[in-house]
Structure 1
Amino acid sequence: MSTVLTSDMHAWARGLAQRIGRRVPPLAATRRRRLLLVHLDGVPKQLLDEAVHTRRMPFFSRLVRSGAYRLEEAFWGSPASTPCFQAGLLYGIEHPNLPAYSWFDREMGRQVRMNTPQDASDIEQRLGRTRCPRLFAEGGHTYFSLFRGGAGNRVCMSTLSSLGVLGRALSSEMEGLLAASTVSPGRYLRLLGRDSWHALCEAWCWGRALRDFRHEGGFLLSRVLLQRLGWSFAHTKALVDMVRGVPILYLVFGNYDEVAHRRGPRSELALAELERVDGYLAELYAMARTVERPYDLIFLTDHGHVESLPFEQRQGWRLEDMLLRGPSATLPESVRRGLLDGRVPGPAGASGPPEVPMVIESGNFAHVYLTRRRQPLEARELLADHRDVLARASLHPDIGMVALRRGDSAVALVKGEVYGAGEMERAPLAEEFSRRAVANYLHELPFMPTAGDLVLFGEAVRPGATVGFAWEFGSHGGLTRTETCSTVCWPGEGPVDLSGLTHCVNLHQRLSEAYLA
């Protein structure tokens, strides 16, 4: 421990623990071992590897280079987005039917967004029907996750749907908060004011340079409320919870992800968030090793980020306009034959009466809904009634791949040919794509009925960059190696081995075996 935790940090943690302990009562022990999970939302493994090598994150680098921790890649399944990952981690659900961060939900009959509290609450109720063991039952706490996952507190996106519940939750969360504060209220307000002013100036310069301010107001609010106030609150509450003896804690650090979407994954602003969080991680580790019953501290990421080049900026119009109102295109005969796969063509009108289509831009992938019915369209129906849309999607140079259902399975359209999950090794995909991830996505699509009739993925236009369909400059959810290669970092002397994980449900199972009473 001496190579990682300095005597000054140990003394700091011991003094703070004593101060908190005088203000808050301890909890009765309910589990043999205690766990703190820190989720670094959206941080690519390559960036963490570089941070270890260059010591850009001094504490995290020391932790890994000392040999105390193992840092390995993990694959969580498809799609590479937070809702799907948290459904697997918190609930142990292998096929949660969560196709993106925003989608048209066929069961509810409307578009849902995971940053809308009522939508998060509705999806949480659906996930809660599972009978899988829940890591955070029996008094665990989660902070700034999308879903509660059975935790004993209520600081997550779904909680915000009820002001009454939120008010009661926050009143109980204030216990011990002032005792754990590491800076005076006056100094904290001065720092917050300075950061807010810098954020305002930066947002003004960025929007003026692009001549587009459409997301700057929301981003500015996020930087002040979530990235500064929110994370500071979660970090401080975790220190209090460890002193009290909460059996399992889950903290989501969303700062990097928020900045990467708006400024790019390797922007100075995004990299500064990694440097910022490193100091917080050191404090969490110091407290985890200092309290009377130490915590095992595990770090993980849910997906990576790639640079995103907006389709609208490149083409001068939105994806929806191109797909639904663009020039006529002729579908290659090879695509028609591959989608029929020896079957008889379906009759016109097979998909039912015409409906208003919907295109949900989900980053560097997009869901195209050509009907609103409960069951998605299959290849023969698409050929019979929506051949123009199919042709435009499969032939556009900024669309690298189109996924759709064929019978009981799914296939991908790549450069005028049809490929099944077992044929991806010979598909002419750009080098940036992960063939393993593409095959996994095709296996998963039949389990996601609420995904689009077509799912489009932006072409990889240069190393580390893809076309994005949303107006953002860093994306995830696609099928590149960077997006689908996640990270898990755990103590070598801990009770669980987290190597070789191939789905987030594997993570749930191994942690449950090691930490559930």
Structure 2
Amino acid sequence: MRVPGAGRLLRGGRVLARMVLVWVLAVGALQLLDAWLTGFAMPEWWQPTVCALLFGVLSAVVWPLVLRIALPVAVFTLGIGSFLLLGAGVLAISFAVPGVVVTDLGTAVVVAVAVAALGAVVSSLVGLDEDELFFRRAARRRARRGAAGAGEMPPGVLFLQVDGLGIDTLRRAVRDGDMPTFARLLDTGSHRLAEWHTDWSSQTGASVCGILHGDNSDVIGFRWYEKDRDHVMACSSPEDAAEIERRHSDGRGLLAVDGAARGNLFTGDAAHTSLTMSALPLVSGSGRRRRTRDAMGAGYYAYFANPANALRTFVGALVDIGREVSAAVRQRRAGVVPRVSRGGFYPFARAGTTVIVRDVVVSAIIEDMLAGRAAVYADFLGYDEVGHHSGVERFDSLAVLRAIDRQIGRLHRATQLAPRRYHIVALSDHGQTQGWAFADRFGESIEALVGRLCGQPQPDPRRGAHPDPGRTSEGWQVGAVLAEASSGGGPIARRLRDRVERGASAPDRPRTAGGAPGDAARVAPGVVVVASGHLAMASFTDHPGRVELETIEREFPELLPSLVDHPGVGFVLVRSAEFGPVVLGRDGLHRLATGVVIGEDPLVPYGPHAADLVRRVDGFPHCADLMINSRYDPARDEASPFEPHVGSHGGLGGAQSHGFLLHPAGFPAPDEIVGAEALHRVLRGWLTHLGHPEPERPAPSTVPAAAE
């Protein structure tokens, strides 16, 4: 029998137990520090008791007030500055309590760290949920202010993106116990699992642009070359991300109505953003409204207001750095392949995404729930980052996945405490296909290969890749394979060479003025190559617009035959003056305009949607002259990415094209989802199903800068 109010009494008892236990242990810790730490002295018996009480007041009351002013110090030092400020507080306490000696700031910081660590340990020991305390305090503040309830509001939705997690990897992780939160949601029947198929460009830029804005046309890769501007677009560039959003937003994105974007590439027209790439270059001026971003406190304040959080994250980051170094050493010692170089700054960058950014994003989401925002979209990037360098299902990648699962479980518990009811929808933007990096496997990068075939030998054939000094002597066998490939043994390569010998090429197009290089590096005069995971794009800058197959045959007769015969190339898309878009493979070709296939269809290994997805990209204004997809081996479920990755994505072939969608069982079940724009329509439909209003198109004078 459930006793009314028993839950509140139990929670109140845990809070009181925590306060008493922290106080008692803090007294003991201060006594130990007095005996152990040089420069710290409390000669009287009563001083530790009083100082522990004052430190508790400092942490719970004074520190949050100080942080409102000093928050940038905490943020820009990744929490270390928090302890410098707390150390200053300990110094102030030593001045206030007669007889207490703290000789310098360094000693005070050690004392502050020790006492803050006690708070974190005790919270775990008594099973206290910090999120519960946060919401309870907030509820009391709302009650005092007489805030209206949220009873008539439709439920909010948290869209939680696990970057790079393919549906097959998810199923195995759930089966093997690596994602217990997901397993519980599925086992209880509260959620269902669905699959969605990405666009040809299976990477975060195209997927998230389509998911959030309902339009990802002309987003060809994570980076691509635009001939008309002689510029390489990169989704990781704030200016380019803002330009991509400007082109695709109509002001009615998924988050346009009281939404928040946390840790994303694009905003989805959300009014509240943090750690979102396209919102970084704020634009103002005539005819534009300056996009409003959340103040510095968004997400950060709720996180750093508890000194134990900064310590917990700092320790977690150190542990993750150690895990990364250990994993890299173990791979090298065991001779694991495929693998890539993982030294330099990468261990620290990895800790930034897997621990620090993750924790701040979770705090921002909790703040959004407290504020009752209608929809939140957040990206957990850590698994994708580690999968690139370690592998799709290797032990340290799965460890990161387990940590993300714990955070999603934390958010799921928080939805039960928020002032508004919330649903959780988890999804991925794409999967990952594993393989030995192209440059490591074949001795030269795709950029160097195209440059050499265009008559420009490369001084560093592995340019763009990280050389692995541990490569074995098996490379000579690869050299033999390449020598056979260059002889044109495949039927399509022979057909292409026959065309060149017969002189069956179209007249040259007029060249641009000299083809002078701009900001995009050339691998050969007038040739730009950009790699994006399993997709590479070659453009010929001496010709405006799309260069046709016949012109390429005339100017670079060895390029197409050698590419289609290369063991690392699956297929090449090129535009023909005679046949329109043509997909070339080693053993066959596919004319997309008519559906005619000669020989073996090169698109068969890439699934039933491949032809439609490739045809769509062929119509994009900035489609490259040659679109090169890596070769996928279905038997081994692997492909060699054109970037120095182990797990990778960006093209067609294998798990990279198959994302997941975990949604509440009460939501309308989606039909087959092909493409990020289709997924946007599903998510938008769910918001409508819950009673959320459709976003209205902003008036021209109020369109956000990112949507003009």
Question: Which interval holds the TM-score relative to the shorter structure?
Answer: 0.7 to 0.9
1:197, distance to aligned residue in structure 2 (A): 4.1
Contact 1:351-1:381 within 8 A present in 2 as well: no
Alignment size in residue pairs: 503
* 1:405-457 per-position Cα deviation (integer Å, ceiling 9, x unaligned): 235852211114321344579735598x3232421332212232323211112
Paired AA for residue 292 in structure 1: P
Change (3 A) 1:304 1:351: farther
Q: Who is 1:259 aligned against? A: 386
Change (3 A) 1:217 1:499: farther
Pair 1:292 & 2:410 matched = no
Q: Who is 1:85 aligned against? A: 207
Paired AA for residue 279 in structure 2: T
Contact 1:109-1:372 within 8 A present in 2 as well: no
- Alpha-carbon distance between aligned partners in 2 of 1:59 and 1:288, rounded to the nearest angstrom: 14
- Alpha-carbon distance between aligned partners in 2 of 1:263 and 1:11, rounded to the nearest angstrom: 33
Change (3 A) 1:391 1:456: same
Paired AA for residue 438 in structure 2: F
- Alpha-carbon distance between aligned partners in 2 of 1:179 and 1:349, rounded to the nearest angstrom: 61
Query: What does 1:53-72 align with in structure 2 at a 5 Å threshold?
Result: 53-72=175-194
Contact 2:632-2:638 within 8 A present in 1 as well: yes
Q: Who is 1:18 aligned against? A: 136
- Alpha-carbon distance between aligned partners in 2 of 1:374 and 1:217, rounded to the nearest angstrom: 41
Contact 1:262-1:474 within 8 A present in 2 as well: yes
Q: Who is 1:485 aligned against? A: 658
Larger displacement relative to structure 2 (82-91 or 345-354): 345-354
Pair 1:40 & 2:210 matched = no
Query: What does 1:161-172 align with in structure 2 at a 5 Å threshold?
Result: 161=281, 169-172=294-297
Query: What does 1:326-337 align with in structure 2 at a 5 Å threshold?
Result: 326=453, 332=493, 334-335=495-496
Pair 1:99 & 2:259 matched = no
Q: Who is 1:502 aligned against? A: 674
TM-score under structure 1 normalisation?
0.85
Larger displacement relative to structure 2 (247-256 or 159-168): 159-168
- Alpha-carbon distance between aligned partners in 1 of 2:426 and 2:681, rounded to the nearest angstrom: 17
Change (3 A) 1:204 1:103: farther
1:301 to 401, 425, 428: 428
Corresponding residue SS for 2:272: coil
1:39, distance to aligned residue in structure 2 (A): 0.7
1:182, distance to aligned residue in structure 2 (A): 10
Contact 1:324-1:389 within 8 A present in 2 as well: no
TM-score under structure 2 normalisation?
0.64
Identity among equivalent positions (%) equals 22
- Alpha-carbon distance between aligned partners in 2 of 1:351 and 1:163, rounded to the nearest angstrom: 36
1:371, distance to aligned residue in structure 2 (A): 1.9
Pair 1:74 & 2:244 matched = no
Larger displacement relative to structure 2 (194-203 or 244-253): 194-203
2:302 to 177, 188, 203: 177
Corresponding residue SS for 1:173: coil
Contact 2:511-2:542 within 8 A present in 1 as well: no
- Alpha-carbon distance between aligned partners in 2 of 1:329 and 1:57, rounded to the nearest angstrom: 50
Q: Who is 1:3 aligned against? A: none
Query: What does 1:149-298 align with in structure 2 at a 5 Å threshold?
Result: 149-155=268-274, 156-161=276-281, 169-174=294-299, 177-178=302-303, 183-200=308-325, 202=327, 216-298=343-425
* 1:26-56 per-position Cα deviation (integer Å, ceiling 9, x unaligned): 7997963311101111111101111222232
- Alpha-carbon distance between aligned partners in 1 of 2:219 and 2:383, rounded to the nearest angstrom: 22
1:255, distance to aligned residue in structure 2 (A): 0.6
* 1:110-149 per-position Cα deviation (integer Å, ceiling 9, x unaligned): 1122222222222222223x36x32211321011111122
- Alpha-carbon distance between aligned partners in 1 of 2:644 and 2:619, rounded to the nearest angstrom: 29
* 1:451-472 per-position Cα deviation (integer Å, ceiling 9, x unaligned): 3211112223451211222111
1:264, distance to aligned residue in structure 2 (A): 1.4
Paired AA for residue 191 in structure 1: G
Corresponding residue SS for 1:275: helix
1:259, distance to aligned residue in structure 2 (A): 0.7
Paired AA for residue 607 in structure 2: R
Paired AA for residue 127 in structure 1: H
Contact 2:433-2:638 within 8 A present in 1 as well: yes
1:21, distance to aligned residue in structure 2 (A): 3.9
Corresponding residue SS for 1:111: strand
Larger displacement relative to structure 2 (409-418 or 215-224): 215-224
1:488, distance to aligned residue in structure 2 (A): 0.8
Corresponding residue SS for 2:209: helix
Contact 2:299-2:361 within 8 A present in 1 as well: no
Change (3 A) 1:68 1:207: same
1:98, distance to aligned residue in structure 2 (A): 0.9
1:175, distance to aligned residue in structure 2 (A): 7.0
* 1:225-247 per-position Cα deviation (integer Å, ceiling 9, x unaligned): 22211111011111121121011
Change (3 A) 1:386 1:280: same
Contact 2:587-2:602 within 8 A present in 1 as well: no
Paired AA for residue 442 in structure 1: V
Corresponding residue SS for 1:261: helix
1:204, distance to aligned residue in structure 2 (A): 6.7
Unaligned runs of 5+ in 2: 1-6, 12-126, 285-289, 454-482, 516-524, 694-708
Larger Rg: 2
Unaligned runs of 5+ in 1: 1-6
